[in-house]
Structure 1
């Protein structure tokens, strides 16, 4: 987590500010509760960082990008029609999450009603939970 926070701070992802009286701050309630359940049930826990996660999302719309200066593009005026999401696109996190969620649901996982980033599957005595946070997964259950 220290590396993730350092990367976010280096990228200028946020600035520290006082919370205005008419605003609510997003919390980590699901993560805290999830970890409390894991500890109370003595489950093994795994955290995974999905490298290049945003490059795996499928685009549902037409997006065109210019090639960086100095790269051969064939003819003047040609651009890249994106077939997959890229870190440069504002759609990237949404595309990645949609693809991962669809995959988990196809395997039989159920999405939590209270937090759409928590997925659970139960088969007999097997219980497995996957909590998604951007490009990180926390996985725990009765039998990994």
Structure 2
């Protein structure tokens, strides 16, 4: 959990502020997972902070959620063509991809469980999207496509 919090703080995911009376607070929770090596031994334990996006209200906490997604049949077709033509194929993984998307809406979240202090009145004002937000995939796609186009990809 401490590693995840450090990554979120390094990414400037939120600012700690008092909650304005005109806004509602959205909760969050920890999701834990055990990652395994291919030969069944434990690689590591992973903790991910997830927003309770099911509490979001349309037009208040988010506006649009649609993001383009490639269908598996399209990916398989492109891989087949590349194999037949002998093209080089490269793949990359973006670590914590959804956390890169900038938020357009103002969203306030409770402090992560286990990281709040008794009597503290601060909340997290999100600057970046988190897993669980309804607009997280759209914000990631917007950031990714903007980065590609500014890097001269078409």
How many residue pairs match? The answer is 86
Give the unaligned 5+ runs of structure 1.
Answer: 4-25, 111-144
Residue in structure 1 matched with residue 108 of structure 2 by the alignment = 64
Aligned pair partner of 1:55 in 91, 95, 99: 99
Change (3 A) 1:35 1:71: same
Per-residue deviation at 1:51?
1.2
SS at match of 1:79: strand
Give the unaligned 5+ runs of structure 2.
Answer: 1-36, 38-69
Change (3 A) 1:43 1:74: farther
Residue in structure 1 matched with residue 123 of structure 2 by the alignment = 79
Change (3 A) 1:97 1:65: same
RMSD, matched Cα: 2.4
Change (3 A) 1:73 1:65: farther
SS at match of 1:47: coil
Distance (whole Å) between structure 1 residues aligned to residue 100 and residue 133 of structure 2: 13
Taking structure 2 as the reference length, what is the TM-score of the superposition? 0.48
- Alignment pair present for 1:36 and 2:69: no
Distance (whole Å) between structure 1 residues aligned to residue 151 and residue 108 of structure 2: 33
1:48-72 CA distances to partner (integer Å, 9 max, x unpaired)?
A: 2211111111111111100133323
Distance (whole Å) between structure 2 residues aligned to residue 42 and residue 104 of structure 1: 25
SS at match of 1:99: helix
